[in-house]
Amino acid sequence: MIATQPIRTRSLGLAALLWAVWPGMASAHTSYLLPKVFSANTERMVTVESAFAEKFFHPEVPVDSKDYHVVLPDGSNGEFQSITPLKQLVMLEAALDQDGTYRFSTGVRLGRIGKSALIGGQWRSVPGEVPKEATQVRTSQTETVADTYVSKKKATRAPVDVAIGRLQIRPVTHPSEVYLDKPFELQVLFDGKPMPGQELVLDRGGADYEEAVVHRQVTTDTKGGAVLRFDRPGVYVLMARHRADAPAGSGTDERSYTTSLTFQVEE
């Protein structure tokens, strides 16, 4: 895998704020991957944009993941040919040498460690010293995963079923075969187990000039499943968030998990 260079720009000030606060601005920003095409035919390369954003697709902070990788059409791991960090986003290039579906992923990205304190019965983020009136302190860290899919000439299932991270959005409908007249079925899993009652947030990108901006919440059923239906084509971002105890030995009490999926709805 190609190693990224350290991103040393003025955007780090915002990045530090997003990663460290618990809870705080990080709850409003989501990492995403956006390919230049979702369906390929003769293309031999694809470029993918990666960033944190509050409004899609307006990049604000580059995603400095150390686990960027490609899942090839047969389900095996591949590499990006180039990873270029910029001030507000990261540009990635990948070869499309085989026919089938490619899954592009930030992989598991751990954010900075922050603290929260129980003060007057409410949990508050603590960027510096813990106030004396705090009755309890917990450390936390964010864990994010962003995925997207590009299919060349045909859709293959193997990359879809590869597990990445603890919090997973697992498409039942192939993400390269989502149409206006066909519902998009999916399941949300945590540590491989279905998550009933999990809230998902759906946004449509590029909706700046529309009277009705697509932004809605969906809740999974008793089996962790959800069905999405659409009234207009476009590029969408689906996001899930979940807090849980951190894995043993991770050095923090909690983790805030965020997983996003960028996909296209066709007519």
Is there a contact between 50 and 92 (Cβ–Cβ < 8 Å)?
yes
- Residue 46 in tokens: 């694809």
- Residue 48 in tokens: 């993918």
pLDDT of 1: 38
pLDDT of 45: 97
Q: How do 199-204 and 234-245 pair as beta strands?
A: antiparallel
In sequence order, what are the residues at sequence separation of 6 or more whose Cβ sits closer than 8 angstroms to the Cβ of residue 87? 9, 10, 11, 62
Greatest CA span in the chain, whole angstroms? 64
Q: Which residue matches tokens 């909690």?
A: 254
- Residue 83 in tokens: 């990873």
Spatial CA neighbour of 261 closest among 197, 170, 195, 178: 170
Per the rule left: phi > 0, alpha: psi between -120 and 50, beta: everything else, 74 is: alpha
- What gap in Å lies between CA 129 and CA 117, rounded to an integer? 10
pLDDT of 113: 87
At 64, is the secondary structure helix, strand, or coil? coil
pLDDT of 23: 39
- Give me the amino acid identity at 254: E
pLDDT of 215: 80
pLDDT of 83: 98
Is there a contact between 32 and 260 (Cβ–Cβ < 8 Å)?
yes
Q: What is the pLDDT of residues 117-128, one digit of tens each?
A: 888 888 888 888
Q: What spatial distance separates the first Cα and last Cα of the chain, rounded to whole Å?
A: 36
Task: List the chain pLDDT tens, one digit each, 267 residues.
Answer: 333 333 333 333 343 434 333 333 334 589 999 999 999 999 999 999 999 999 899 999 999 999 999 999 999 999 999 999 999 999 999 999 999 999 999 999 999 888 888 888 888 888 888 888 888 898 899 999 999 999 999 999 999 999 999 999 999 999 999 999 999 999 999 999 999 999 999 999 986 766 556 788 999 999 999 999 998 999 999 999 999 999 998 889 999 999 999 999 999
Spatial CA neighbour of 174 closest among 45, 245, 266, 96: 266
Q: Which residue matches tokens 């010293």?
A: 129
Task: List the chain domain ranges.
Answer: 12-265
Is there a contact between 157 and 176 (Cβ–Cβ < 8 Å)?
no
Give bridge partners of residue 124 from the DSSP assignment. Answer: 117
- What gap in Å lies between CA 160 and CA 168, rounded to an integer? 11
pLDDT of 260: 98
